């Protein structure tokens, strides 16, 4: 999404504190499957940032032109619209990845009921709450981003009007700026929950006696 989106960090198992297929190890497997399901989410981050950068360059070029260069404005606007559509597609791919992660994470609730240690069970419960908050934050972020994309499309369609008035353009730009301020705030909330979850997951592994090496994966994009 806009700005940066934190990703789930993988925990590479190199030594289990218990043997067999214990509930703790089943939890590890379920939690890491949720991470793997979000691999496509990570893959979308850099391309989205590049597309946003390209679109911004086109926007700056458009507003630097006068109406005497109307044909060029139309051409650039159409190019910008295609970039917006590509952003929209990648955002949808990103969302599907999060939905896959949600499906994988459902197994955690059932597995956590088999944990004998009450302190560990409590940590597992905290993990589930954090992840649900993270998913909820993403849903709000995704909806806000889609609204912003719709406004971007309206802007580039406006640029193609020969009788476009300055007041109309300024009103649309103000609306877009407000929309992206909302996206940025929701993105920060999503990042915060992701970081809290990553930390809580490693605390759970430590309490469960499962030693892992935490992979940075792609960490946080910018």
Q: Is the pLDDT of residue 216 over 70?
A: no
Q: Is the pLDDT of residue 204 over 80?
A: yes
Residue from 193, 203, 41, 205 nearest 131 by CA: 193
Find out whether 75 and 138 touch, Cβ atoms under 8 Å.
no
Tell me which of 214 and 104 has the higher pLDDT.
104
pLDDT in tens, 114-125: 999 999 999 999
Does residue 54 fall inside a structural domain?
yes
* Residue 41 confidence class, pLDDT cut points 50, 70, 90: confident
Find out whether 9 and 199 touch, Cβ atoms under 8 Å.
no
Average pLDDT of the residues in 62-86: 94
pLDDT for the residue numbered 11: 64
> What phi and psi, each to the nearest 5 degrees, are found at residue 176?
-65, -45
Q: Is the pLDDT of residue 222 over 80?
A: no
Does residue 15 fall inside a structural domain?
no
Does residue 144 fall inside a structural domain?
yes
pLDDT for the residue numbered 200: 95
CATH no. for residue 147? 1.20.120.570
Rounded to whole angstroms, the Cα distance separating 126 from 128 reads: 5
pLDDT for the residue numbered 90: 94
Does residue 128 fall inside a structural domain?
yes
* Residue 215 confidence class, pLDDT cut points 50, 70, 90: low
pLDDT in tens, 177-192: 999 999 999 999 999 9
- The helix/strand count (H/E) of the chain reads as 5, 2
Domain that holds residue 197: 20-109+116-208
Does residue 14 fall inside a structural domain?
no
Find out whether 14 and 205 touch, Cβ atoms under 8 Å.
no
Helices (H), the chain: 23-37, 39-63, 70-112, 118-158, 166-208
pLDDT for the residue numbered 203: 93
What share of the chain in percent tops pLDDT 90? 78
Average pLDDT of the residues in 153-175: 95
Neighbours of 148 (CB within 10 A): 24
Q: How many domains does the chain have?
A: 1
Does residue 34 fall inside a structural domain?
yes
What share of the chain in percent tops pLDDT 70? 89
pLDDT for the residue numbered 214: 66
Find out whether 14 and 211 touch, Cβ atoms under 8 Å.
yes
Mean pLDDT of the chain: 88
Rounded to whole angstroms, the Cα distance separating 84 from 56 reads: 10
Does residue 4 fall inside a structural domain?
no
Rounded to whole angstroms, the Cα distance separating 192 from 95 reads: 18
């Amino acid at each position: 999404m806009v700005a940066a989106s934190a990703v789930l960090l993988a925990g590479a198992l190199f030594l289990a504190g218990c043997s067999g297929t214990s509930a703790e190890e089943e939890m590890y497997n379920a939690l890491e499957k949720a991470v793997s399901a979000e691999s496509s989410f990570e893959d979308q981050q850099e391309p989205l940032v590049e597309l946003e950068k390209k679109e911004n360059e086109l926007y700056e070029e458009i507003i630097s032109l006068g109406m005497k260069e109307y044909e060029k404005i139309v051409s650039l606007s159409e190019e910008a619209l295609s970039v917006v559509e590509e952003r929209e597609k990648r955002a949808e791919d990103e969302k599907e990845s999060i939905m896959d992660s949600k499906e994988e994470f459902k197994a955690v609730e059932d597995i956590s009921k088999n944990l004998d240690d009450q302190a560990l069970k409590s940590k597992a419960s905290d993990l589930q709450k954090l992840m649900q908050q993270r998913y909820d934050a993403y849903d709000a972020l995704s909806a806000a981003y889609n609204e912003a994309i719709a406004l971007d499309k309206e802007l580039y369609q406006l640029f193609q009007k020969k009788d476009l008035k300055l007041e109309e353009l300024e009103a649309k730009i103000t609306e877009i700026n407000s929309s992206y301020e909302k996206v940025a705030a929701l993105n920060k909330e999503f990042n915060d929950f992701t970081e809290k979850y990553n930390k809580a997951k490693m605390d759970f592994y430590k309490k469960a006696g499962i030693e892992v090496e935490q992979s940075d994966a792609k960490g946080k994009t910018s």
